[in-house]
Amino acid sequence: MSTRSSPPAPNVLRDRWLFLARLMWVALAVLVLGLDAASIPYAYARYKAVCLRDAGFCRDEGLLTPEGVQALQELGLSPGLYAAYHVGLSTVVTLVFFAVAAVIFFRRSDEPMALFGAFVLLVFGGAAIAGTMHDLAEVRSVFWFPVNLLDFVGQVSFCVFFYLFPDGRFVPRWTRWLAVAWALLWVTLIFFPDSSLAALITPLFFVFIGSLVFAQVYRYRRVSTPPQRQQTKWVVFGFSVALAGFVGAVFFLYGGLSTIGKSGPLGQMIGETVVYGFLLLIPLSIGVAILRSRLYDIDLIINRTLVYGLLTILLAATYFGGVVGLQSVLRALTGQESTLAVVASTLAIAALFSPLRRRVQGFVDRRFYRRKYDAAKTLSAFNARLRDETELDTLSGDVVGVVNETMQPAHVSMWLRPPTGLDKVRGEGPEQ
């Protein structure tokens, strides 16, 4: 069977360079975690205090307004509990990022790309996407520059990681210039937030996200070896689900449903929990991709995600469409609304679940896993013939044909041991 040439052994750090790299990572971990820990009291006080500024600003920052305090009291909650929840959630997210980074560091720190991944997760999770150190910088101006510098490094390194993963090279080569442009954009956003360029963050953000996806797809199709493709699947899967969940949660909880997005502190707590829950898929997928050598089960996870994601969307559309349609019909007939529409739609969803799941599974297998789908059909047909076949020569040819069609090796050979001696049945398969 013809195969690709083995990839070169990964570069490793040794002796002095390895010691210096590990020492720098440990020092950075102490700095990031130390700043976050020192900032917890300031973050707690900020979330507990009443925000007297514009209501839109207070809601965007997750701060309590006088109306928010009253809403908490009606629920039997205190501002202190609200503040503790926010600080605790951010701290948990930071610790998850750090835990994955630490595992990578202790197990693979001699590999430059793995060490860089541990660095990215540490800074991005502790200073950019989560962490409490920005609350310290707002109170103590002496920490403003180091905190914002760590934020800048975390944002830029996260982007660069996706341009480099998994072999440490910019592929395509022009992505290095996109990394430079991304760094210049974050200089403006973090250190000069009032500049006119900051208004372009939304369109430019999606441009850069698209470039990250393109770089990984291009690398997957043109450059990556089979093990690297499995690593890419894990990282792209985690990043895609996290991004889709983040954007969907922000729109659904804060934009699409005003009853949740503007429901006060409780809505803020629900929204942040969902958003951070999706973001945690990023460190977990990166950790699995770097640490595991055999990653073939990602195909099953992607398959199940596609199936149940499409199934959920179809069932939700059917349910809400049924409720709205039946309510309209019942209102036209009786002049009033009835719970019959909800009951009927629920029963319809229960009846549709199994057949719809089978149809969605078949669609996903045919559309995205065509080779495996065809192989499964071939094996199923062979299994049906096997029960009725009695001729040894015919059966031998069928076995060779099935192996040839499903696995597509360069050559197929089968030896049988008849009572009178060794008989060899040989077949040739198409060259790969």
Residue 339 confidence (pLDDT) above 50? yes
Residue with the larger pLDDT of the pair 125 and 227: 125
Residue 90: predicted pLDDT:
92
Q: What is the pLDDT of residue 257?
A: 47
Contact 265, 68 (CB under 8 A): yes
| Residues in Cβ contact with 21 at an 8 Å cutoff, skipping those fewer than 6 apart | 13, 109, 115
Does the pLDDT value for residue 252 go beyond 70? no
Q: How confident is the model at residue 28, as a pLDDT?
A: 94
The whole-number pLDDT of residue 361 equals 73
| pLDDT, tens digit, 9 for 90 and up, residues 60-110 | 788 888 888 888 888 888 888 899 998 999 999 999 999 999 988 988 888
pTM, entire model: 0.67
pLDDT beyond 50 at 124: yes
In the chain, domain spans? 15-212, 308-368, 372-428
Average pLDDT, the chain: 76
Q: How confident is the model at residue 224 (pLDDT cuts 50, 70, 90)?
A: confident
Percent of all residues in the chain with a pLDDT value above 90, rounded to a whole number: 17
Average pLDDT over residues 388-405: 60
268/332 Cα distance (integer angstroms): 39
Note the pLDDT of residue 258: 46
Q: Are 410 and 1 a contacting pair, CB within 8 Å?
A: yes
What gap in Å lies between CA 278 and CA 243, rounded to an integer?
Answer: 8
H or E element that contains 415? strand 411-416
Residue-wise pLDDT for 285-313, tens only, equals 888 887 764 444 545 555 665 566 666 66
| Over residues 148-159, mean pLDDT | 92
Amino acid identity at 104: I
* Cβ pair 330, 337 in contact under 8 A: yes
DSSP state of 200: G
User: What are the CA-CA distances from residue 198 to residues 1, 203, 205 (Å)?
Assistant: 55, 11, 11
pLDDT of res. 402: 57
Q: 341 falls in which pLDDT band (50, 70, 90)? A: low
